[in-house]
Structure 1
Amino acid sequence: MDIYCTRPNCTKPLNSFADLDSGNTLKTITQKFCTSCGMPLLLGGRYIVESPIARGGFGATFLARDRYTPAMKRCVVKLLQPIGFTSAQMVVAKQMFEREATVLEDLGTHPQIPDLLAYFEVQSGQDEFFYLVQEFVDGFTLEQIVEQHGAIAEADVLEIMHSLLPVLTFIHDKGSIHRDIKPANIMVRKSDQSYFLLDFGAVKQVAGVAQGQKSTGIFTPGYGAPEQMRGDTVFPSTDLYAFAVTCLFLLTGKEPDELFDVSYNKWQWDRFVKLSPNFNNVLHKMLESAPSDRFTSAADVLQALSSQASVPMVQPSVQTPVKPAHQTSIQVPVPVPLPNFAPAVPKPAASRSQKTPWLLSASIPTQFIGAFLLGVEAMLLWQVSTTVGIAVIGTPANLISFAAVLLGIILLRISSILDNKDLFVFVNLLSFAAVWGGQIFAKVQFQNFPNWIEIAQYCGIAGFSAIALMAAFRLIFQLLYSLL
């Protein structure tokens, strides 16, 4: 069995123990130590770390198993790992870590907040390590959904809001404020598509203080409310502000700095997505600069979303054209589910490849046009190859030249310089030019060439066939991914 060492800067953290492959030994052994640094490996005497999940300046998280459960249940182990902290900063860090454990113990009773399983210290030589063990949610974050599938449709975002606003109500009623709501801290569980709110390390307890408390400056840039960025008093509406920014990211696939117009000091998302009037107004009110101008509670937001009347607001003075944006519905599971704690560092942008053919991700009219072009391309290439092609590509030299041109197109396609749309236009224009030129200048060679109406019919048949085949492939892909 392999066990991962959690000590920061351990040179060889992965340890292998053949004796632990026996189930009885695994349950009865008292402790195991890292062969490189001597760090205890059975955390709290029961948790076996399998692999790291994320590391940062304040903490590190690991995927682990509980050896005292029959199925070796998975869990998430979070380690307090301050780097370069002074003694005073270390005291504050410990207090925040202990507060997170206290808050999780209280808030973990909610079904959409991971349970706190354990909280303990481990002594290794002169070093002290603080651990927090939490329920593992097998799913993926909203941040990863957008990176893999693009922007999310309004109906799905509304579903997310209706699911998580009651969670915020629960948190606020308990006298706490999350202070770090963002797409990476919202997870969808793969088994039942339930939404979970994660990472309560920045939670601020305001119980007994009606007007809130001073913020300690913990937030994610772009998502923090103005009062939070200034280090001023935070309120429940501070979480609502961050939640609204999160929704904008989901709706547009754009980072907050792309959506906030600094010249007018206001949020401008109309050029990326067109929302229903009521939802649009609700988001505007959640994003007001002054906390007093926002909704006072998550329950008020829910009521406004359910209301048919729009929320009163001042319309933006600058009107920008709406650029259509492709939006996809949430589908589970995704190819690469994320563990409970997502890395704090930005992830690389998703590659151009998709799990289904690119044409199927477009709108229905675009699919029909693209499929018809496929038919045009197939018919024209066939005609050119059986007329001009046979006449011209007769010598080895011409054949080599033609192969070199096709190889060049393929290389451009692979290198992403020439994408699918460019390839359609390039090949079809080239084919049209060849056919028209042949009809005008080489009529003898085109005596058996079908008329244009007949060609259009062939192209239509080919296009509908392409749509049917691609739809069949899409169904097969969805079935395969649902089994993975």
Structure 2
Amino acid sequence: MSNSSPLTVGSKLENRYEIVRELGQGGFGRTYLAIDINRYQEPCVLKEFAPQIQGAKELQKAEELFEREASVLYKLQHSQIPNFREFLRSQLNSKPALFLVQDYIEGETYAQLLKQRCFSEAEVVQLLQQILPVLEYIHSQGVVHRDISPENLMQRSVDKMPVLIDFGGVKKAATTAVSKATGQPVVTLLGKEGYAPPEQIRQGKAFPSSDLYALAVTVLVLLSGKQPKEFYDNSKAVWHWQQYISVSPELGKILDKCLAYKPSDRYHSAREVLQVLLTVSNPNPQPIANPNPQPVTAGNLNISQMPTLNFVGRNWKTNVTQVIANVGRTIVKLPAKKLFGVKFIANTLKIGVVVAVGVGAWNLAQAELLKLPKKISFPLPNLPSLPSLPKLPNSTTLTKAELDRQAEIMRRSKALGVTDFYTQVDRLFYSKYPELKRRALTEKPEDAKYRQRWYDIAEDLLDKLEKEKSI
């Protein structure tokens, strides 16, 4: 916790930044939403750096290191990273204070989104496709984030793209360096417990593969709504997430490799993960878990009053061994011999539930027994319904011609297998039009000319790449 008192709403820092509200606080200071008076009331974020160290020498060293690390943030220029604006020295309650000033991103963190619902396999695959190029970029700049988690990923409101925020690991690295340089112990943790890999927690080391590890943990949390400690066996240092989450074998292999104990056993780059991610086909579009399950009991029931459900069995001519129940937003693996009395009549499987199960709040029930091509119906109990989730709008202001142009660009880029194609186009586009300040383009008419220019740049790059490939 910072030793300084918080800035009050309406107060001004350096007669320029007017405080709107406090966004959060931690061991290194507070974070504020402010408006930049000198930039037409633009919103921005002030991140205070106030390490718990005493003495002029130590503070001077902290300033030097923090400014050095701030210069690292300054050189990061990416549409999915908040722009760094300023490194600010100021006075707070008559004491020296250091601030980072960054762009404000309107949106919700993935931790906030997770409170509403869990994510589907299709959604996390899309998230990986969208955020891995960002990691590839920062790693190419010699930067490791060190603190990837649902709290540090935001979904930007304007375009629903993920944005990587809070390079808090930079501040923590600076504080660790202060401790080494001055001999004064400073308590710091490089990364969140459960998300950070062993080498980061135990040795303070971080590599590109360390970010990939934390990203894989983030995916497990988004899929399940559970905390990392629920998937991890500390005594054996192994993950056992497969007991709780069912995903395609291809995605499962990717997650397992990212979660390897040794950095050398993981993927070595974000680009490598993106390439392997192409093997994931037809990911499940339905969320598989409810982040806030309520216990529901199904016991000795009147089968005639149960609704009908479908499932697929591994081999309907033999004994059923396991049921994978996709009930509403919860997947449950249940041994059939403990649940069902089984009788075959004219190729129809008749099942009665004979034990109680607690599986969460449901609004519809569907059960599947893996990899059997014959569907069979059986009844399950009536269960309480969930409120309907809001549907995303599927309308668009774009013309069919423009949508077709987008689809053709996507098709050509996939055919080339260039995983960072869109990142390359963004770099070219924003370097050509710096007046946009890397803001995301919208579907509004006023952005139409810039969208067309973006397409032009994308198509020119595709022509060049296709030509190079044919040589």
TM-based fold match above 0.5: yes
**Residues 326 and 7 (structure 1), Cα distance of their counterparts in 2 relative to 1, 3 Å cut:** same
**Normalization by structure 1: what TM-score?**
0.54
Distance, in Å, in 2 between the alignment partners of 1:233 and 1:63 is 32
For 2:167, the equivalent position in structure 1 comes to 200
For 1:261, the equivalent position in structure 2 comes to 233
For 1:455, the equivalent position in structure 2 comes to none
Q: Map of 1:316-355 to 2, 5 A cutoff? A: 326-327=288-289
Distance, in Å, in 2 between the alignment partners of 1:420 and 1:272 is 17
- Give yes or no for the alignment of 1:287 onto 2:259: yes
Coordinate RMSD, CA, aligned:
3.9
Q: Map of 1:439-458 to 2, 5 A cutoff? A: none
| SS of residue paired to 2:146 | coil
Q: Map of 1:119-268 to 2, 5 A cutoff? A: 119-123=87-91, 126-149=94-117, 151-203=118-170, 217-268=189-240
- Cα shift readout 1:160-196 (whole Å, capped 9, x = no counterpart): 1011101000011001111111110000011110110
Q: Percent identity?
A: 36
For 2:435, the equivalent position in structure 1 comes to none
- Cα shift readout 1:3-44 (whole Å, capped 9, x = no counterpart): xxx99326x9346xxxxxxxxxxxxxxxxxxxxxxxxx4323
Q: Map of 1:286-325 to 2, 5 A cutoff? A: 286-307=258-279
For 2:396, the equivalent position in structure 1 comes to none
Q: Map of 1:43-192 to 2, 5 A cutoff? A: 43-70=13-40, 72-83=41-52, 90-91=59-60, 93-107=62-76, 109-123=77-91, 126-149=94-117, 151-192=118-159
Q: Do the aligned residues in 1 keep the contact of 2:172 with 2:189 (CA within 8 Å)? A: no
Gaps of 5+ in 2: 174-187, 295-306, 311-326, 329-359, 363-381, 394-471
For 2:408, the equivalent position in structure 1 comes to none
Distance, in Å, in 2 between the alignment partners of 1:232 and 1:478 is 42
| SS of residue paired to 1:53 | strand
Q: Map of 1:357-396 to 2, 5 A cutoff? A: none
**Residues 157 and 62 (structure 1), Cα distance of their counterparts in 2 relative to 1, 3 Å cut:** same
Kindly provide the amino acid, as one letter, of the partner of residue 46 in structure 1: R
- Cα shift readout 1:196-215 (whole Å, capped 9, x = no counterpart): 00111313999xxxxxxxxx
| SS of residue paired to 1:63 | strand
Q: Which has the larger radius of gyration?
A: 1
Distance, in Å, in 2 between the alignment partners of 1:351 and 1:85 is 47
- Cα shift readout 1:400-450 (whole Å, capped 9, x = no counterpart): xxxxxxxxxxxxxxxxxxx988xxxxxxxxxxxxxxxxxxxxxxxxxxxxx
Distance, in Å, in 2 between the alignment partners of 1:219 and 1:474 is 34
Kindly provide the amino acid, as one letter, of the partner of residue 130 in structure 1: L
**Residues 350 and 304 (structure 1), Cα distance of their counterparts in 2 relative to 1, 3 Å cut:** same
Distance, in Å, in 1 between the alignment partners of 2:274 and 2:102 is 29
Q: Which of the two has greater helix per residue?
A: 1
| SS of residue paired to 1:164 | helix
Kindly provide the amino acid, as one letter, of the partner of residue 271 in structure 1: Q
Distance, in Å, in 2 between the alignment partners of 1:256 and 1:201 is 20
Q: Do the aligned residues in 2 keep the contact of 1:237 with 1:291 (CA within 8 Å)? A: yes
Kindly provide the amino acid, as one letter, of the partner of residue 196 in structure 1: V
Aligned with 2:8 (options 13, 22, 26): 13
Distance, in Å, in 2 between the alignment partners of 1:96 and 1:148 is 40
Distance, in Å, in 2 between the alignment partners of 1:364 and 1:191 is 42
Gaps of 5+ in 1: 1-5, 16-40, 207-215, 310-323, 329-348, 353-362, 371-418, 422-462, 480-484
**Residues 85 and 225 (structure 1), Cα distance of their counterparts in 2 relative to 1, 3 Å cut:** farther
Kindly provide the amino acid, as one letter, of the partner of residue 78 in structure 1: K
Distance, in Å, in 2 between the alignment partners of 1:474 and 1:223 is 29
Q: Do the aligned residues in 2 keep the contact of 1:248 with 1:269 (CA within 8 Å)? A: yes
**Residues 13 and 48 (structure 1), Cα distance of their counterparts in 2 relative to 1, 3 Å cut:** closer
- Give yes or no for the alignment of 1:275 onto 2:244: no
Distance, in Å, in 2 between the alignment partners of 1:45 and 1:120 is 13
Kindly provide the amino acid, as one letter, of the partner of residue 102 in structure 2: Q
- Structure 1 residue 269: deviation in Å? 1.1
**Aligned pairs, how many?**
297
Distance, in Å, in 2 between the alignment partners of 1:74 and 1:259 is 39
**Residues 272 and 111 (structure 1), Cα distance of their counterparts in 2 relative to 1, 3 Å cut:** same
- Structure 1 residue 148: deviation in Å? 2.2
**Residues 88 and 181 (structure 1), Cα distance of their counterparts in 2 relative to 1, 3 Å cut:** farther
Q: Do the aligned residues in 2 keep the contact of 1:48 with 1:66 (CA within 8 Å)? A: yes
| SS of residue paired to 1:191 | coil
Q: Do the aligned residues in 2 keep the contact of 1:175 with 1:205 (CA within 8 Å)? A: no
- Structure 1 residue 234: deviation in Å? 2.3
- Cα shift readout 1:342-390 (whole Å, capped 9, x = no counterpart): xxxxxxx9798xxxxxxxxxx9959xx99xxxxxxxxxxxxxxxxxxxx
**Residues 128 and 221 (structure 1), Cα distance of their counterparts in 2 relative to 1, 3 Å cut:** same
Kindly provide the amino acid, as one letter, of the partner of residue 225 in structure 1: P
| SS of residue paired to 2:168 | coil
Distance, in Å, in 1 between the alignment partners of 2:130 and 2:392 is 26
Kindly provide the amino acid, as one letter, of the partner of residue 13 in structure 1: T
Distance, in Å, in 1 between the alignment partners of 2:55 and 2:196 is 26
Distance, in Å, in 2 between the alignment partners of 1:222 and 1:297 is 21
Q: Do the aligned residues in 1 keep the contact of 2:86 with 2:101 (CA within 8 Å)? A: yes
Kindly provide the amino acid, as one letter, of the partner of residue 195 in structure 2: Y
